[in-house]
Structure 1
Amino acid sequence: MTRTIILMGAGTGERMDSDIPKQFIEINGIPIIAHTYNRLKNIQNLKILIVLPEKNYSKWKKYISNFIEEETILVRGGKTRNISVRNGIKSINDDGYVGIHDGVRPFFSKALIEKLFNEAEKRGNAIPYTNSINSLRKVDKKTNESTSVDRSNYVQIQTPQVFQINKLVKIFNKVDGINYSDESSLIETEGIKINLVLGEEQNIKITTKRDLRFFLKN
């Protein structure tokens, strides 16, 4: 079975309040998404595909080519993350399994990637999670009233989320035009059981300047 990772790098990074998309912010002369790529490229028998922003695609394609190996497939993203993921999936010619990973999550271990693919090959999909360590409250946005909830009933979802390619393609074709928060939510709408797999606390997504400072320390 082939194993492919789609690195999602098509976002605008608005929450970072930066002049460029956050995935292209350079740390030690290397963009964040290339740091993520560099961790992945050393994993044996793993193909890597990178989805880039639709806007200024040629510019970003030329730029990122300076940091990746020539055989890496580059794909134009879409106006939404949903479309960008679909564009990435359409660019895979093999059967097998695909992991969809945030380009700004560079702190995963090789062991996590291999565990997720192994689990997906056994059970059809693998969705990494971590337990919530903070207290949680449910808030009514209209009244600002809140109630306490039991955090043991909730988990935080990470990436990469790994799926069987042909099943994911069939679902994409069936629900074309429907927005969803992530691919696990999408397959769940089709009655497919989600296989949760324990992730890693350090596998954070760099979304804000605070996250960026964490990167600089590590």
Structure 2
Amino acid sequence: MPFLSLIIAAAGQGRRLGTGSNKVFLPLGDKPILAHTLAVAEASPLVDEVIVVTRPEDIPLCHQVVTGGPYRKVRQIVTGGRERQDSIAAGLKAVAPAAEWVAVHDGARPFLSPALLERVITAARDTGAAIAALPVKETIKRGNTEDLVTATLERRGLWAVQTPQVFRRDWLAAAYREAEINGWQATDDAALVERAGYPVKLVPGEEVNIKITTPGDLILARAIMAGDS
């Protein structure tokens, strides 16, 4: 089976959460937020190694979480950059030479299911790149700098993107090289891969696969955990 490396983005500062610390180390149930994703990766036969990217000041705490598992698939804990894109670039440089596929997942999405991970990986192997996403249900409007509506967008065909995102390693590496050369900036890896000219498959995600960003998200996550227990 082709070698797959999973990069976990865990270098956020948690500004919108208002905790003053890295949100992935906050408790959720009986373990830190980050540990939930590590557990799914550890159990998946499709994941061969894990690279965790975090802030330099959080590396000791990250080591503590990893060894407390223990999560034996974690090969490296890498120092992230100022922006998410910089962090994933650092993680990409750390993946094993044998890796043919690279998956990227947000450390603050603790409810990644084994089934969703498998679906995205399977789709990527068919097309070269695939991402989890949900069709947009709400009406979407575009506003201006004064918060006045300038347009109502056609909802059909719009998707709200999640992670995991899975790519051929050579495609993702090429997209990051072009981004560095051309100064491209994006909020997810798929945008860089798309801009480099590669097709990306949309895979239906899961409503529960939330990203913990705000205090309300944390309340919801803890409610989900309480419902599962």
Q: Which moved more, 1:44-53 or 1:159-168?
A: 44-53
Listed one character per residue, the Cα deviations across residues 51-107 of structure 1 (whole Å, up to 9, x for unaligned) are: 1113x1443344333344245121111111111101111111223111100001121
Deviation of 1:27 (Å): 2.1
Match for residue 79 of structure 1?
A: 82
CA spacing shift, 1:114–1:71, aligned 2, 3 Å: closer
Which of the numbers 158, 163, 177 marks the counterpart of 1:159?
Answer: 163
* Map of 2:18 onto structure 1: 17
Secondary structure at the aligned position of 1:16 is classed as coil
Provide the C-alpha distance between the structure 1 equivalents of 2:40 and 2:215, rounded to a whole number of angstroms.
22
The question of 1:213 aligning with 2:219 is answered yes
Using the size of structure 1 for normalisation, the TM-score is: 0.91
Aligned to 1:60: 61
Paired AA for residue 129 in structure 1: A
Q: Which residue of 1 aligns with 2:91?
A: 88
Q: Which consecutive residues of structure 2, in runs of 5 or more, have no partner in the other structure?
A: 225-229
| Residue 195 of structure 2 is aligned to residue 192 of structure 1 | no
Query: Does the residue aligned with 1:184 lie in a helix, a strand or coil?
Result: helix
Answer yes or no: is 1:128 the counterpart of 2:132.
yes
Q: Which moved more, 1:92-101 or 1:172-181?
A: 172-181
For the 8 Å contact 1:34–1:68, the answer to whether it is kept is no
Aligned to 1:115: 119
Q: Deviations over 1:171-201 (max 9, x none)?
A: 2223215321211110111121221111111
Q: CA RMSD in A?
A: 1.8
Shift in alpha-carbon separation, 1:71–1:118, aligned structure 2, 3 A = closer
- Percent sequence identity is 28
SS in 1 for 2:156: helix
Match of 2:37 in 1: 36
Q: Which runs of 5+ in 1 are unaligned?
A: none
Deviation (angstroms), 1:4: 1.8
Alignment-derived partner of residue 173 in structure 1: 177
Q: Is the contact made by 1:107 and 1:202 (CA closer than 8 Å) also made in structure 2?
A: yes
What SS does the aligned partner of 1:4 have? strand
Deviation at 1:145, TM superposition (A): 3.1
The answer (yes or no) to whether the contact 1:5–1:49 under 8 Å persists in 2 is: yes
Q: Distance in 2 between matches of 1:178 and 1:157?
A: 19
Paired residue secondary structure (1:15): coil
8 A Cα contact 1:95 1:166, kept in partner? no
Determine if contact 2:81/2:87 at 8 Å carries over to the other structure.
yes
Cα gap change, 1:195 to 1:70, in 2 (>3 Å)? closer
- CA deviations 1:8-62 (Å, max 9, x no partner) are 10111111000211111112342101112112211114122211113x1443344
Cα distance in 1 between the residues matched to 2:120 and 2:73: 24
Q: TM-score, normalised by structure 2?
A: 0.87
- Number of aligned residue pairs: give it: 217
Distance 2:44 2:73 in 1: 15
